[in-house]
Amino acid sequence: MNAPFQTTPRPLTVLVAAPRGFCAGVDRAIEIVERAIQRYGAPVYVRHEIVHNRFVVDALKAKGAIFVEELDEVPDGAPVVFSAHGVPKAVPAAATNRGLDWLDATCPLVSKVHRQAERQVEAGRHIVFIGHRGHPEVLGTFGQVPEGSMTLVETVDDVAGLTFADGKPLAFLTQTTLSVDDTAAIVAALKARYPGIVGPKAEDICYATSNRQEAVKALAPRCQLVLVIGAPNSSNSLRLVEVAERCGTPSRLIQRAAEIEDGWIDGVETLGLTAGASAPEALVEEVIARVGAGRVITVEQVVTAQENIVFKLPRQLAD
């Protein structure tokens, strides 16, 4: 009797980007919520998602966080945390007027952009802000300065549509989670159109965004597919998908391993994997387990930078 026919599982190499996942600002924001729950007891209210990741939000809900979109949803006397994306000045002012205990989890690199906006307006310059309309970080930055002090541009074409008079004092700032390449093109267009425009001393796109994009550029050309773990409303995660595709490699954004369809990786021998700055490492491990099921898997780290930045906690929680 013939032995049953057996097939050898197909090999799969998974190239995992490093750095990936949580950045210092996200680590800090999550710790602020966790420590606030320890200090005040549950519930602690959080205005807007603390970071753009459902897994993280659900884990904090289980510990006693309640997420709301507006401050008027927070009961009197309850502690409230502002998200890592930043909020308009009017929000903490309103919280103070109500006598609420509030904690600001705004990423320090976003806060740096806020201070730059204030300084440029104080210097008499109108700000051209490069960012994505409606994103919480953009709304928070616009809310740092008087209405009418800033104009939003999203593309090079938007720059062509600007109508500032010659000689008008101008400055530009950017959202921290943009495509490095797209932003460079927009900045070049601004400088060509308005040679006197003033920019920040160092770029506003944060180190984590830049580093994760560089890591994808390094691994994508070696892959048949790149998976990016992140939320559909996460700007930095969406940019990683774009970066991979510009390298000529198909890419898909997923939130959890369960979203991966078998057909995606059937013919794939080398798979790229990364995670946006709001995605925890547990989700990376979950995806590796999923794609490795039934395959002979080799996991290789593609290291393009080392990150060791840590941001201080608010003074109320520093002890």
Residue 306: is it exposed, middle or buried by C-beta count within 10 angstroms (0-12/13-18/19+)?
exposed
The structure tokens 């300065």 sit at: 145
Q: What residues form DSSP beta bridges with 228?
A: 253, 274
Q: What's the number of CA atoms in the CB half-sphere (13 Å) around residue 197? A: 22
**What is the C-alpha separation between 28 and 204, in angstroms, rounded?**
19
**What is the C-alpha separation between 133 and 175, in angstroms, rounded?**
10
**What is the C-alpha separation between 307 and 122, in angstroms, rounded?**
34
Instruction: Kindly name the residue from 49, 69, 137, 286 that is annotated as catalytic.
Output: 137
* Sheet-wide strand order for 102-104: 65-68, 44-47, 80-82, 102-104
Residue 291: is it exposed, middle or buried by C-beta count within 10 angstroms (0-12/13-18/19+)?
buried
Active-site residue flag, 300? no
Count of positions (residues) in the chain: 319
What phi-psi label fits residue 77: left (phi over 0), alpha (psi between -120 and 50 degrees) or beta?
left
| DSSP symbol at 127 | E
Q: Which residue, 287, 281, 224, 277, is CA-closest to 251? A: 224
DSSP E strand boundaries for 69-213? 80-82, 102-104, 126-130, 150-153, 170-174
The answer to whether 82 and 104 are in contact (CB under 8 A) is yes
Is residue 298 within a helix (H) or strand (E), and if so which, with residue range? strand 296-303
Q: Catalytic amino acids?
A: 137
